[in-house]
Amino acid sequence: MTELIPAPRSVVSGSGAVRLTAHSQLYADTGTQGVGHWLRTVLGQATGLSLLEARELDDSGGDGIALQLDPELGPEEYRLVSDRNGVLIEGGSGAGVFWGAQTLRQLLGPEAYRKAPLSRDRAWTVPHVTIEDAPRFSWRGLMLDVARHFMPKEGVLRYLDLMAAHKLNVFHFHLTDDQGWRIEIKRHPRLTEIGSWRARTKTGYRASPLWEEKPHGGHYSQDDIREIVAYAAERHITVVPEIDVPGHSQAAIAAYPELGNTDVIDTSTLSVWDTWGINPNVLAPTDNTLRFYEGVFEEVLELFPSEFVHIGGDECPKDQWRQSDTAQARIRELGIAGEDELQSWFIGHFGNWLSARGRRLIGWDEILEGGLAKGAAVSSWRGYAGGVAAARAGHEVVMCPEQQVYLDHRQDPGPDEPVPIGWVRTLEDVYRFEPVPPELTPEEARHVLGTQANVWTEVMEDQARVDYQTFPRLAAFAEVAWSALPAPAERDFTGFERRMAAHYRRLDALGVAYRPPSGPLPWQ
């Protein structure tokens, strides 16, 4: 009955059930009205029940739902009690109540995930149960790369719903890369006019990557971004934008050639990149580049209220800086040792710029090279080492090692796997991923804010493919991020798989094109 994913801290089952009917009421106390609105909408769609708005907590009928805050609980903690009085969800904050509401949806059965009722006569029951629950980590993230392949706005909103259903709360939005610039910046219109399209695109099905002579692109207007951020906020998800600098910037250089190292190459011949890998082009370390990106970040800060702003910093190619008189003059002027320190100066500039505006910088673990400003946080992707070093130096860390939680990597060694890149990372591998490596002392481990799964989309040109790579592994990841699991070797993967049987029915109802346990279907 209670095949919940992610697994709650404690579940005590009773023997009866609450039955929701046409007379059932929904009471949302102060601080929980947003959740009440969300719950009435999704359950109303799925069940056809109107869940009348109750003015006060009235459990006389025993068939209602009540939401309220309990200041004794931690911020994301909740308690769900289903008994003779109805269903009561209490949380330490609106977020806690929201995660409890997600649990309620799972208790109602897979049809509770549909957008319209299958039948008006169906009985909707919530088994009598007491659930106490709270997340292990405060950063439970999903990174989506919309630069390599654009995902239209509706698809992004759908991913936010899928995250919420798995109690994930940070959406890391990878908005720019060599292959595309996806966010409208009013003061630099060419970023999207030029930078959001590439003339041809490469797609990879099965073992034979193909060139397709068709253009690819798209971008989000600032209103689209506002809508995405608001939609996420309603689901207690924070959107952390990423503008990747100083590498991974060819789309920006194609739009504004003066951003590149014009004394090394003729940047006016560059177009938005149409292949994958590490690109040799890098932003010129000039005042013009700094002012340009300050303008970009000013607009980004207006759109995204998140504490953290991601600035990339990964795979910065330094050859052009070695060859550029301008870059070398900058190194001499700053009195620094070389190109690593130049990258760190570049990142540090924006770290200071952000903290002067009350925000905090986060970047990929390369930003540690050459020194990192106080208060900056690190996404540890090249394994655990960067995260360990950062935590020991007192920086906050999000663990997302590519060896474990890069969902672009194949999930089975079989020859039919439609996206055959990378290491094999099975559902079980992800389930046994441990975000806090044993070498950290408990004191150091406190710097691990949490973890995120990263979905890079070089070989995922549409939503079905993103679904296929992301699910079911995101369900295993969600349990790692939320639940207090034992050490990797002791985790009950068989029990998880048993609960997954119920979870696949939920994903079916949501229309998620996950990888079936039996292996890819012939057309995948």
**Catalytic residue IDs:** 315
List 83, 161, 263, 314, residue binding ligand TNX (CB under 6 A)? 314
Q: Are 218 and 196 in contact (CB under 8 A)?
A: yes
Look-up of token digits 């009955």: 1
Residue 319 structure tokens:
């050859």
Least separation in angstroms between CB 271 and ligand TNX: 19
Q: Give one DSSP letter per residue of 93-107, joined into a string.
A: SHHHHHHHHHHHHHH
Q: Is the link from the previous residue into 241 a cis peptide, with omega within 30 of 0?
A: no
Chain centroid, CA 235 distance in Å: 13
Q: Is 408 one of the binding residues for ligand TNX (CB under 6 A)? A: yes
- The dihedrals phi and psi of 465, each to the nearest 5 degrees, come to -70, -40
**CB closer to ligand TNX out of 128 and 310:** 310
Residue 209: strand pairing partners: 204
Q: Which tokens hold the place of 457? A: 């989309």
Residues facing residue 180 across a β-bridge: 177
Closest listed residue to residue 65, CA positions, set 45, 85, 49? 85
Token couple for 106: 């799972």
Is the Cβ of residue 77 or residue 366 nearer to ligand TNX in the bound state?
A: 366
Output 25 or 452, the one with its CB closest to ligand TNX. 452
Q: Nearest Cα to 222, choosing from 155, 304, 143, 142?
A: 304
CB 90, CB 145: distance < 8 Å: no
Of 154, 210, 239, which Cα lies nearest the Cα of 461?
210
Kindly tell me which residue out of 406, 433, 468, 482 binds ligand TNX, with binding defined by CB under 6 A: 406
- Minimum distance between the CB of residue 487 and ligand TNX, rounded to whole angstroms? 27
d(CA 404, CA 409): 9
Q: Which of 315, 340, 341, 462 is in the footprint of ligand TNX by CB under 6 A?
A: 315
For the CB of residue 92, give the shortest distance to ligand TNX in the complex, in Å: 34
Type of residue at 142: L
Smallest separation, CB 248 to ligand TNX (Å): 6
Q: How far is the CB of 381 from ligand TNX (least distance, A)?
A: 5
Residue 381 or 482 with smaller CB distance to ligand TNX: 381
Mask 362-381, x = binds ligand TNX (CB under 6 A)? --x----------------x
The number of angstroms, rounded, from the C-alpha of 70 to the middle of its chain's C-alpha atoms is 28
CB-wise, 78 or 456, nearer to ligand TNX?
456
Cβ closer to ligand TNX: 111 or 274?
Answer: 274
321 or 364: CB nearest ligand TNX: 364
Which are the contacts of 149, defined by CB distance < 8 A and separation ≥ 6?
201, 216, 457, 458, 460, 461, 462
Residue type, 78: Y
Report if residue 274 touches ligand TNX, rule: CB under 6 A.
no
In this structure, are residues 203 and 463 in contact, taking their beta carbons and an 8 Å threshold?
A: no
Residues in CB range of 166: below 8 A, 6 or more apart: 5, 6, 474, 475, 478
Task: State the DSSP H helix or E strand holding residue 297, giving kind and residue range, or none if neither.
Answer: helix 287-303
Residues 6 or more apart from 277 whose CB is under 8 A from it? none
137 near ligand TNX (CB under 6 A): no
Residue selected from 173, 456, 471, 514 as contacting ligand TNX according to rule CB under 6 A: 456
CA 180 to CA 506: how far, in whole Å?
Answer: 34
Q: Which is nearer to ligand TNX, 367 or 448 (CB)?
A: 367
- Per DSSP (E only), the strands in 341-406 are 360-364, 377-380, 396-399
Site residue total, ligand TNX (CB under 6 A): 8
Selection from 195, 170, 198 nearest residue 184 by Cα: 195
- In the complex with ligand TNX, which residue's Cβ is closer, 8 or 420? 420
Least distance to ligand TNX, CB of residue 277, Å: 9
- The radius of gyration computed from the CA coordinates of the chain, to the nearest angstrom, equals 24
Residues near ligand TNX, by CB under 6 A? 314-315, 364, 381, 406, 408, 456, 458
